[in-house]
Amino acid sequence: MPDLQVDDLVEISVHGTALGGDAVGNLPDGRACFIPFALPGEKLRVRVKSLHAKHARAEIVDVLAPSPHRVEPQCPLYGSCGGCQYQHASYDEQLRLKTTQLLETLRRLGGVPVEKLDEVIAAPSAWNYRNRISLHPTETNRGLRYGYTSLNNQDILVVEKCPLAKDEVNAEIRKLGKSDYGRKNMRREAPRDVSIRWAPGSGTVCVFGSAPPNLPWRKEELAGLPYSVPAGSFSQVNPEVGALLFDLVRRWGAELPYARAVDAYCGAGFLGLALQGKPVFGIENDGPGIDAARVNAMQRGCAATHKYESGDAGKLLEAALRLQPENTLLILDPPRAGCSDRAIASIASRQPRWILYVSCEPSTLARDLKGLAAAGYKLSRAALLDMFPQTAHFETAVLMELGNN
C-alpha cells in the first residue's frame, strides 16, 4: 500500500493499552499506534495524527466493533479534559487494564519476574472520591472562571462540577468569585490557580496560589483516629483508598519479624503510623510535615516509639540504616520521581532486610526496583491499589526482601 501520511484514515484492531491509558494497535505498515479512549478488542477507524520511525498516534473516527466493556462517560468534558483517561471503560475493566500495565512495567522496565499480583484493591467508590482539586483561571465572556487543562495542554476548560471530586469540593466551585479572596484574585494582573480542599474535621477551604504558612492544619481521619496535615504538605487525595493502603502496611508489617522501621519520605507520618509497638524513625524534608508527624504520633500514643527528623532522605538514610539493618524494615514512599540515586546507594550499602516500597509512578518504581535487585533484593509481594479511578494512575505497594528466595 502507499506510504501512510498524517490525516490518513485507516482501520485498526486494538490489542492492549500502554501505561498512561492509550490503547495500542498496529498500523497496516506494522508500526505501533497509540490511540486515546479505545479499549482492547475493539476495531476502529482512526485518523493518523503523527508518524514516527517506530510508532504513531491516532484519534478515533468511528468505533466499528466496540468492546463489551465500553460504557458512556459521566463527564461532559471527557475527551477534551486532560484529567481522565478511562471513563469510557467499566470499572472492572479499568482494574484489569491497570493490573496488566503494572505487571508489564515491572517485568519490562524493572526486570522483576512477577506473573501475578498478590492483591488488587479496588476503590470503594469509583466517583466523588477526591478531597481536593486544583483549578486554573481563565478569562471568559462571563468574567474570570476556573477549570482544568485541556487535552492539548494549552486551553483551560471551565469546570462547573467534577465527577471525581467530593460533593463538598464541588459545592465551592461556583462560589470561587464571590469570596473576598476570589474577588482579589480577579483584580490581579496574573490571577492565581486555586486549590479546593475538604477534610472531615476542617470543612472546605479555597487557597489561591500557595498555601500561607499560617493556614490551619487539615484535620482528617486515619483508621478512625485524628490525623493532621499542614495545608501545604502531601496528603492522600482519596481518603478511602488511603485507609486501605494504611491497612495493607499494617497487615504486611505484622507478618515480618522486624525489630525497627525506618520510614523515608514519611510526610506527616502516614504509613509509619500503621506500625505499632516497635521503634519507627521517620525522615521527611518538609519541616511542617515532620511537626505534624510528631503530633499524629502523640495522638496515637506512640510518641515514645515514633521519632522523626527533617532532612533529605538521600542524606539521612545511610545514617538511619546503620543500626540493626538485618532486623530493619525500610518504608519508601517517595514522590513521583522516585528515590534519588543517593538514597538507592545508601540502601545498597546498608542493606536493611526488608523494603516496603509504595509508589504512585510505576515507571520510576520499576527503575528503583532494578537498582535494588542489583543490590540483592527480591520481590516477595506486590499489590495494586486503585487510588485514582477513571484515570490511568494508580498506587503500587511491593515488599522486597534481601536474599529472599
Amino acid letter, 309? E
Which are the catalytic amino acids? 360
222 burial via Cβ count (<10 Å: 0-12, 13-18, 19+): buried
Q: Which three cell numbers stand for residue 159?
A: 469546570
Q: Which helix (H) or strand (E) holds 38?
A: none
- Answer yes or no: are the C-beta atoms of 293 and 267 closer than 8 Å: yes
Are 38 and 86 in contact by the 8 Å Cβ rule? The answer is: no
DSSP state, residue 238: -
DSSP 42-99: -EEEEEEEEE-SSEEEEEEEEEEE--TTB---S-TTBTTBSS-S-TTB-HHHHHHHHH
Q: How many CA atoms lie within 13 A of 19 on its CB side?
A: 16
